[in-house]
């Protein structure tokens, strides 16, 4: 073999090693979550320096051809872009790569991610679209889906943009039904859709949970703390307390920086407070008095009157229950509002109310708290569940009723003012 041929072989081997080093570098980024974030940056810096040195060891004469040069520029840009912040040097190298070889789909993908970091979302989307023009690719489809959710924030047609996000997420899954990251991305898309369309369609939450569960089947996703955190967030919103607690603990064990332990503490504190209030229910004489005062309440004839004890699990359509507020339960989260309520049969249950502003925490608002202790409530189409589980040796059991819209709540015979409505929001953040 001639010296020139041997040199080309050696250069190709080094280039392959540099590609492997770049992949290993990104694997560190996606799986290494030390308690001190600075340790992660230090490790990334050390490994990126090694990868760049390896790349630069290729003789300049072995990277003169357009494809050789394009691959070199692509890898150099990709290695430099592994860090959270935007780096112009990375963009410059990636831009050179796609100019030298427009068919390099991975270079377009990396360039789109790099440009995204500096906030130029339309240009980032253009890069992803150009990458897809080279052929279907699950990674590019997932990134495009994620970018679209980010672009939906504040847009007038955000629901339409999120539907596009779901479409691209599903297309990625069709290319590889076993790919956990694609399923994870679909779960995020369905969760975002739930919130931007008004936070009423619980089927979107259930679709999100199913997607997350499919993602968990892929062992490569076991190290993704965001998967467990996001899944726990859905369960928390659905008031699947035990699953939420388990999910947040799983996320905390993978990435201490996600503050999942704080989420666990908040849920446990709330459950302890609810359990304490229920255990110390007001005297039977008072409950009897409160319940008897509810007997004369008139009800819209289109609704069937019921008590908590006969509600079905889940949404109870065309059903109404009547009760008296015993306690307003203060807690640390913004939503929902929690109350302890007495039913017409003297049964006590926990009521969670979504979509209503809490004026008790805002002295600037002159209107009184919309639901307060002593109020008479009529709850239309309540969502019911029997909470019964143990956590760290402590048992929690209570009847739970939730309502998601102010139109479902009548207070002392009157509807709640629409000015008190609030809309739950969620942000689709990009994690470079």
Kind of pairing between the strands at 394-403 and 383-391: antiparallel
| Model pLDDT, residue 369 | 55
| Model pLDDT, residue 146 | 97
Q: Which residues of the chain have pLDDT under 70?
A: 1-10, 198-200, 281-297, 334-335, 355-369, 417-432
Residue that the structure tokens 């007038």 belong to: 156
**From the DSSP assignment, how many helices (H) and strands (E) are in the chain?**
14, 10
Whether residue 356 contacts residue 340, with contact meaning beta carbons closer than 8 Å, is answered with: no
| Model pLDDT, residue 194 | 86
| CB neighbour burial string for 216-226, b if at least 16 within 10 angstroms, e if fewer | bebeebeebbb
Whether residue 182 contacts residue 172, with contact meaning beta carbons closer than 8 Å, is answered with: yes
Integer angstrom CA distances of residue 179 from 141, 187, 203, 426: 13, 13, 23, 25
Whether residue 365 contacts residue 347, with contact meaning beta carbons closer than 8 Å, is answered with: no
| Model pLDDT, residue 177 | 97
| Model pLDDT, residue 345 | 85
Q: DSSP assignment of 162-201, as one string?
A: HHHHHHHHHHHHHH-TT-HHHHHHHHHHHHHHHHHTTS--
Long-range contacts of 227-231 (CB under 8 A, 24+ apart): 227/180, 227/184, 227/187, 228/254, 228/260, 229/258, 229/260, 230/184, 230/187, 230/188, 230/191, 231/187
Burial level of 303, CB count in 10 A (0-12/13-18/19+)?
Answer: middle
| Model pLDDT, residue 288 | 65
Cα-atom radius of gyration of the chain, to the nearest Å?
28
Kind of pairing between the strands at 383-391 and 314-315: antiparallel
Three-state SS at 82: coil
The span from the CA of 406 to the CA of 167, in Å, is: 32
User: What's the predicted TM-score (pTM) here?
Assistant: 0.85
Q: DSSP assignment of 139-157, as one string?
A: HHHHHHHHHHHHHHTT-TT
Residue that the structure tokens 């699947």 belong to: 240
Q: DSSP assignment of 97-140, as one string?
A: HHHH-TT-HHHHHHHHHHHHHTT-HHHHHHHHHHHHTTS--HHH
The span from the CA of 355 to the CA of 421, in Å, is: 5
Whether residue 290 contacts residue 322, with contact meaning beta carbons closer than 8 Å, is answered with: no
| Model pLDDT, residue 351 | 95
The 10 Å Cβ neighbour count of residue 360 is: 15
The 10 Å Cβ neighbour count of residue 328 is: 16
Closest by CA position to 370, among listed 353, 385, 387: 353
The span from the CA of 18 to the CA of 226, in Å, is: 29
The encoded tokens of residue 49 equal: 């320096």
């Amino acid at each position: 073999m001639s010296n020139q041929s041997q040199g080309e072989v050696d250069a190709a081997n080094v280039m392959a090693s540099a590609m492997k080093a770049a992949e290993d570098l990104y694997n560190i980024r996606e799986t290494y979550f030390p308690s001190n974030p600075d340790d992660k940056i230090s490790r990334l810096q050390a490994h990126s320096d090694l990868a760049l040195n390896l790349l630069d060891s290729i003789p300049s004469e072995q990277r003169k051809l357009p494809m050789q040069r394009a691959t070199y520029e692509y890898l150099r840009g990709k290695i430099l872009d592994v860090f959270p912040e935007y780096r112009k040097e990375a963009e410059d190298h990636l831009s050179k790569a796609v100019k030298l070889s427009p068919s390099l789909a991975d270079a377009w993908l990396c360039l789109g991610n790099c440009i995204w970091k500096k906030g130029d979302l339309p240009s980032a989307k253009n890069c992803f679209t150009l990458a897809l023009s080279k052929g279907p690719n699950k990674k590019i489809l997932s990134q495009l889906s994620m970018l679209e959710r980010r672009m939906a924030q504040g847009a007038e047609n955000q629901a339409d943009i999120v539907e596009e996000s779901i479409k691209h997420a599903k297309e990625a899954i069709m290319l590889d039904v076993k790919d956990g990251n694609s399923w994870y991305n679909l779960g995020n898309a369905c969760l975002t859709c739930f919130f931007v369309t008004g936070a009423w369609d619980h089927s979107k939450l259930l679709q999100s949970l199913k997607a997350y569960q499919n993602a968990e089947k892929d062992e490569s996703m076991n190290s993704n703390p965001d998967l467990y955190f996001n899944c726990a967030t859905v369960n928390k919103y659905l008031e699947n307390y035990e699953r939420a607690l388990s999910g947040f603990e799983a996320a905390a064990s993978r990435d201490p920086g996600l503050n999942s332990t704080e989420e666990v503490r908040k849920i446990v504190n709330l459950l302890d407070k609810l359990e304490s209030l229920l255990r110390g229910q007001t005297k039977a004489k008072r409950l009897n008095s409160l319940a008897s005062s509810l007997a004369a309440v008139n009800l819209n004839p289109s609704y069937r009157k019921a008590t908590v004890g006969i509600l079905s699990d889940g949404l109870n359509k065309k059903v109404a229950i009547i009760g008296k507020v015993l306690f307003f339960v203060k807690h640390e989260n913004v939503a929902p509002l929690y109350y302890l309520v007495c039913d017409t049969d003297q049964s006590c249950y926990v009521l969670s109310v979504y979509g209503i502003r809490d004026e008790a925490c805002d002295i600037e608002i002159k209107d009184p708290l919309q639901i307060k202790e002593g109020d008479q409530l009529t709850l239309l189409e309540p969502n019911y569940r029997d909470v019964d589980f143990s956590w760290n040796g402590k048992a929690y059991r209570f009847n739970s009723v939730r309502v998601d819209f102010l139109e479902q709540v009548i207070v002392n015979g009157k509807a709640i003012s629409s000015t008190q409505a609030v809309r739950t929001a969620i942000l689709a953040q990009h994690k470079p």
